[in-house]
Homo-oligomer: A and B are copies of this chain.
Amino acid sequence: MFSVSARTQYAIRAMTCLATKPDRSSTSAEIAQAENIPAKYLEGILSRLKAFGLIESERGKNGGYRMAKNPSDITMLEIVEAIDGRIKPVTCVDAIGACAQGAACHPRNFWIGLKSTIDAYLAERTLKDVAQG
């Protein structure tokens, strides 16, 4: 229940890896080896993180990835949402009537509250916090 996708776990590990090397850029292969992540799979993850503005990259020889911001300025919520999108326990959190129960959906507020709780937890911790353990 509420399990975190491998993708997101990989993303977090990759980010912590980059966070420890702020001065230079790391290649995807380097990160993959250091963090024990399937190399080709990681490439796609790094693309998403880049598209979300969390990391930067340079192509070609001597290319690689590096942090786009300070680790203390990146919340865990940003990383999670970059990879798996907004947290949505049930389909009707966004719009009333988005489930088969329509307006009679009693649990809706309960789920919305859960989402808020999770979001708050994730938004309160930064990559720096997590990298330190």
Contacts and interface: CB of A to CB of B under 8 A. Distances in A.
Contacts of A8: 1
Given A117-B121, A121-B114, A121-B117, A106 B90 contact: no
Chain A interface mostly: helix
A119 to B, nearest CB: 10
A106 B133 contact: yes
A131 interface: yes
Given A100-B36, A106-B16, A107-B9, A2 B89 contact: yes
Interface of A: 1-5, 8-9, 12-13, 16, 36, 76, 80-81, 84-90, 100-101, 106-111, 113-115, 117-118, 121-122, 125, 129-133
